[in-house]
Amino acid sequence: MSSRRRAERAPAVALGLLLAFGLAAAPALAQRASAPAAGLPLWELGLGAGALSLPHYRGSDQSQQWLLPVPYAVYRGDILRADRDGARAVLLDSDRLDFDLSAGASAPAKSRDNRARSGMPDLAPTVEFGPNLNLTLARGAGWKLDLRLPVTAVFTLGSDARSIGWAAAPNLNLDLQRNGWNLGLLAGPLFGSRAYHAYFYDVAPEYATAARPAYRARGGMAGWRVTGALSRRFGDLWLGAFVRADSLAGARFDDSPLVRRRQHLSAGLALSWIFKVSDARVAEQP
């Protein structure tokens, strides 16, 4: 195993938290090595609440506020992990290189609540899975800079569940630890397939109007994203917050009539109470 120091934190404050489906319930899949009695719990569970402000979709000029239960789930297996880097299956872990399988999600949007999409089908929530290659570029005392290369297949959820293509988000990620606080800064471009962009930005002829002409989105560049996240553990309490800036600069679909704003901010805040930890301990993963 790697000797890197990993600061533990809850999964990101987002709807994707609700999709940490049973990783902690499958310890048989985690081939953990024997660990000394001292160390960190193999798993931790908690529950809290979070407030989010998110655009209906990237490019929308309308946002929605969410008040959600926030599960706190940390699992420190050798293969399956739910920790500071999200919920994932680690397939390769060395001093400078990680290869894992990760998951993500997005929120639904009702077209009746969105002026640009009025009369069009609703946007279902989505879930995505795929490989993620992480390369550590530099590190020092209390900080680490990674190049991350995730590529995911994206699916809608609900009665009409289906594949809607792929997305990629290569980024630089800087992790800082200071006085008990964990700060993460992430920035990079976004890309997507024609099918993925079509789901959000196409206007089929039957939904075209005088103010919303028919449109066919193209695959490729999808703009840029910068995210900052801050968290800290206070005994049995975990506090986390994030701010995310999105830009559609350079996006292949920025001329879609459904794009009403090319820059926007998202933000969230969550507080969770950790009520259960395992008796089993594992060595701290540096």
pLDDT tens for each residue of 22-53: 222 222 222 233 334 457 788 888 999 989 99
Question: What's the pLDDT at 33?
Answer: 32
3-state secondary structure of 261: coil
Q: Sketch the domain layout of the chain as residue ranges.
A: 57-62+88-276
Does the pLDDT of residue 7 top 50, yes or no? no
Question: What's the pLDDT at 73?
Answer: 79
Q: Span 116-139, mean pLDDT?
A: 93
Question: What's the pLDDT at 221?
Answer: 98
Contacts for 204 with CB less than 8 Å, ≥ 6 apart: 214
Q: Which two tokens stand for residue 281?
A: 């301990």
Does the pLDDT of residue 20 top 70, yes or no? no
Question: What's the pLDDT at 167?
Answer: 96
Name residue 66's beta-bridge partners.
Answer: 52
260-281: per-residue pLDDT in tens? 999 999 999 999 999 998 888 8
Q: Which two tokens stand for residue 208?
A: 């075209």
Q: Span 195-210, mean pLDDT?
A: 97
What are residue 136's phi and psi, to 5 degrees? Answer: -80, 120
Question: What's the pLDDT at 40?
Answer: 79
Enumerate the H helices of 55-212 as residue ranges: 194-201
Does the pLDDT of residue 21 top 50, yes or no? no
Number of H helices, E strands in the chain: 1, 15
Name residue 56's beta-bridge partners.
Answer: none
What are residue 111's phi and psi, to 5 degrees? Answer: -65, -30
Q: How far apart are CA 270 and CA 162, in angstroms?
A: 31
Q: Span 10-23, mean pLDDT?
A: 35
pLDDT confidence of 206, banded at 50, 70, 90?
very high
Question: What's the pLDDT at 64?
Answer: 92
Higher pLDDT, 75 or 209: 209
pLDDT confidence of 205, banded at 50, 70, 90?
very high
Q: DSSP string of the chain? A: ---------PSPSSGGGGG--SGGG-GGG--PPP--SSSEESEEEEEEEEEEEEESSTT-S-EEEEEEEEEEEEEE-SSEEEETTEEEEEEEE-SSEEEEEEEEEE--B-GGG-STTTTSPPBPPEEEEEEEEEEEEEEETTEEEEEEEEEEEEEE-STT--EEEEEE--EEEEEEEETTEEEEEEEEEEEE-HHHHHHHH-B-GGG--SSS--B---SEEEEEEEEEEEEEEETTEEEEEEEEEEE-TT-TTTTSTT---SEEEEEEEEEEEEEEE-S-EE----
Q: How far apart are CA 242 and CA 27, in angstroms?
A: 30
Spatial contact of 44 and 276, defined as CB atoms under 8 Å apart: yes
56-103: per-residue pLDDT in tens? 999 999 999 989 888 887 877 665 555 555 555 555 566 788 887 777
With pLDDT > 70 as the criterion, what percentage of the chain qualifies?
79
pLDDT confidence of 285, banded at 50, 70, 90?
low
Q: How far apart are CA 159 and CA 126, in angstroms?
A: 12
Q: Quote the pTM value.
A: 0.80
What are residue 195's phi and psi, to 5 degrees? Answer: -65, -40
Does the pLDDT of residue 209 top 90, yes or no? yes
Q: Span 139-157, mean pLDDT?
A: 94
Q: Residue 66: what residue type?
A: W
Mean pLDDT rounded to a whole number for the chain: 82
Question: What's the pLDDT at 103?
Answer: 77
Question: What's the pLDDT at 62?
Answer: 96
179-196: per-residue pLDDT in tens? 989 999 999 999 999 999
89-102: per-residue pLDDT in tens? 555 566 788 887 77
CA dihedral 266, 271, 276, 280 (to 10 degrees): 60
Q: Cβ atoms within 10 A of the Cβ of 31, count?
A: 10
